[in-house]
Structure 1
């Protein structure tokens, strides 16, 4: 990635992947995006296509059913998908980063062998249940509990805004829960809950502003019993481990956001060349041309930021600050570009069948999910010693 920043040329394997996903996005995803958005339906046929391409297994070793690639490969795929349909892109991002990655990072060998092959193949989806009505970034607000009863955990509580949690192919949800107390503070652990466990309920899906083809539910747990060996990672390290997952996930969300920002540029350039007003294409008007130029600059800066964070991550170097910067810059670029693209399209930009209208509705959550803009600013400030 550092080579790309200086030369503008990706290595061949990354370039081939990017081109393959770009073709899939344009020929398979884009034609059905408006329909799934309008009907609020989960795009099972698109997800199956992504599974066939091996996208869900990109960053995982072949021994667990993965493609033997890396996290940057996943990010490239997310950028291309994000250009045309953020709902599809977040389905992949959450399925890999939040669903499968915790199993890979913190699971026992038995847990990896049990769950990763299905998740990496895209035949099943996983989800991560962190957020609650009064808890998300504030771990101290966690109220879901898990009590050890012999060789079983008994889980009670609720979660909200959980992506990929209620599809027909959702197999597991990893949840954070209070498992005791340490030094006067809540001990928070993570436990894997198969979705067919009695007492687990994915409540009716949310009616959202955007990401309408993405699956999002509140969850409830009523005396849910799972084996003690479903504890993921060390007891009491659940929240700390998930913070690491979030650091990685911010790079992935930045890649998705970059795709959204670039998609708005691409749509605006096309429209500005075709749309005529007062006898000439509107792109020949400096006001429009300059607006699109600024949009391109935002997308370029966002891409450079997530490439840089990914390079540090893969090199095994500290990347927390760079991941937060990438997520901050890219999510704001997506929202700003969506607003400008809608303005450029005029009345057409307000029609839902147009991609820029979907980006306008979809992009706001990029400034909220997996750490709000304010959280990113807080993280950067802390890294600066403030």
Structure 2
């Protein structure tokens, strides 16, 4: 099925991305997993090819194309492996805060290097004691003269090791009522005094994705690094979280498609009791069920992407997609591993890595429980 938003130009672009990844990513991915990080050189190569921030304005180093090109990048890098999630975060989650709310000076200073891969970005919301309840973050930013003094800690930060520019959610007004009105966003650069990184976190999956703790101890940040207006950080986060959740839904859908494809190939080749295990009714039924879930997920997702690109209100449907497609992918991972038998538990088989990587998608960008809360609220329940 061809999505409504796709044109011939998109398909030509997909072939270009795929050809690049076949040369620069697929042969090295297993080594990246062992090294527990994707090399910065890969980011620079992505930038050279125009695969970083393609939708930003040409005057800032982008291509000024529609968001469908970013969708293609997200889909193709997910086919390589879920550990590439930091690239989508940079392109479609962090940089949009700068393009939407940044000043002209901020855009001129940061966006061209974001497009080349010289600057890798991150966003820091989650804290050791605060996850889904963003209004209760404890990191503070106090304005003193021409700079903010930031104190606090963030954790589970994607691109935490590589990041050169981190958008940090801070409390600039601890007495604000309601609490969320005291939150602001600050762009903190790598060399900011008082900014340090804690440990690179050792995760169950996404091994090549650098996730870290960030620490701010009287960190000095120029007041010019405030993103948008003071006190509007929570509003900005809520506006941009929809695209973040849509990106998660896209990657979960692609992961499910990849896992079903891997499993179909495997069951056709694997012999048991004198025949291919694809001939067993149980195998056929399981594959049929998963293939149906994948097809239905793809139809819903493609329509949702089209609506998002048309700037329609898709908050409820994005929450549905993020919840349902990540749950589908997690269920499919378990079924596919089972159909691989003992080999599915061996690291040399890709399904083992996919099984490790997918569960966290139902946690980050807002847990699936939060997604259901949003859906119910928007239904008037």
| TM-score of the superposed pair, with normalisation by structure 2 | 0.94
Name the SS for the 1:56 alignment partner.
coil
**How much is the aligned-residue C-alpha RMSD, in angstroms?**
1.8
Contact 1:78/1:259 (<8 A) preserved:
no
- Rounded to whole Å, the distance in 1 between the matches of 2:80 and 2:297 is 17
- Rounded to whole Å, the distance in 2 between the matches of 1:330 and 1:184 is 33
Could you tell which deviates more after superposition, 107-116 or 20-29? Answer: 20-29
Name the SS for the 1:55 alignment partner.
coil
Contact 1:200/1:221 (<8 A) preserved:
yes
Could you tell which deviates more after superposition, 132-141 or 109-118? Answer: 132-141
1:214-244 alpha-carbon deviations (Å, 9 max, x no partner): 0110110001111111110111010110111
**What residue number does 1:173 align with?**
166
Offset, 1:277: 1.6
Does the C-alpha gap of structure 1 residues 307 and 19 become closer, same or farther in structure 2, counting only changes over 3 Å? same
Name the SS for the 2:200 alignment partner.
coil
Offset, 1:278: 2.0
The counterpart of 1:18, out of the listed 14, 36, 42, is: 14
Offset, 1:80: 2.1
The counterpart of 1:296, out of the listed 291, 297, 300, is: 291
Contact 2:155/2:212 (<8 A) preserved:
yes
- Rounded to whole Å, the distance in 2 between the matches of 1:49 and 1:293 is 40
Name the SS for the 2:184 alignment partner.
strand
Does the C-alpha gap of structure 1 residues 33 and 233 become closer, same or farther in structure 2, counting only changes over 3 Å? same
The counterpart of 2:78, out of the listed 75, 82, 88, is: 82
Runs of 4+ in 1 over 6 A off after TM superposition: none
Contact 2:6/2:68 (<8 A) preserved:
no
Offset, 1:246: 0.9
Q: Does 1:111 align with 2:111?
A: no
- Rounded to whole Å, the distance in 1 between the matches of 2:378 and 2:178 is 27
Could you tell which deviates more after superposition, 253-262 or 61-70? Answer: 61-70
Equivalences for residues 89-128 of structure 1 within 5 A: 90-128=85-123
Offset, 1:41: 2.8
Contact 1:98/1:126 (<8 A) preserved:
no
1:82-116 alpha-carbon deviations (Å, 9 max, x no partner): 1230011x021111233311111111111111111
Contact 1:81/1:259 (<8 A) preserved:
no
Name the SS for the 1:113 alignment partner.
helix
Q: Does 1:315 align with 2:310?
A: yes
Q: Does 1:357 align with 2:352?
A: yes
Does the C-alpha gap of structure 1 residues 351 and 44 become closer, same or farther in structure 2, counting only changes over 3 Å? farther
The counterpart of 1:241, out of the listed 225, 236, 239, is: 236
- Rounded to whole Å, the distance in 2 between the matches of 1:250 and 1:10 is 21
Unaligned residue ranges in structure 1 (runs of 5+): none
Does the C-alpha gap of structure 1 residues 5 and 96 become closer, same or farther in structure 2, counting only changes over 3 Å? closer
Equivalences for residues 246-325 of structure 1 within 5 A: 246-325=241-320
Contact 2:13/2:69 (<8 A) preserved:
yes
Contact 1:60/1:70 (<8 A) preserved:
no
Contact 2:188/2:225 (<8 A) preserved:
yes
**What residue number does 1:71 align with?**
67
Contact 1:189/1:239 (<8 A) preserved:
yes
Unaligned residue ranges in structure 2 (runs of 5+): none
Does the C-alpha gap of structure 1 residues 311 and 179 become closer, same or farther in structure 2, counting only changes over 3 Å? same
Contact 2:132/2:366 (<8 A) preserved:
yes
**What residue number does 2:338 align with?**
343
Offset, 1:354: 1.6
Does the C-alpha gap of structure 1 residues 362 and 184 become closer, same or farther in structure 2, counting only changes over 3 Å? closer
Offset, 1:64: 1.5
**What residue number does 1:330 align with?**
325
The counterpart of 1:62, out of the listed 38, 58, 63, is: 58
**What residue number does 1:185 align with?**
179
- Rounded to whole Å, the distance in 1 between the matches of 2:290 and 2:145 is 58
Count residues in correspondence.
379
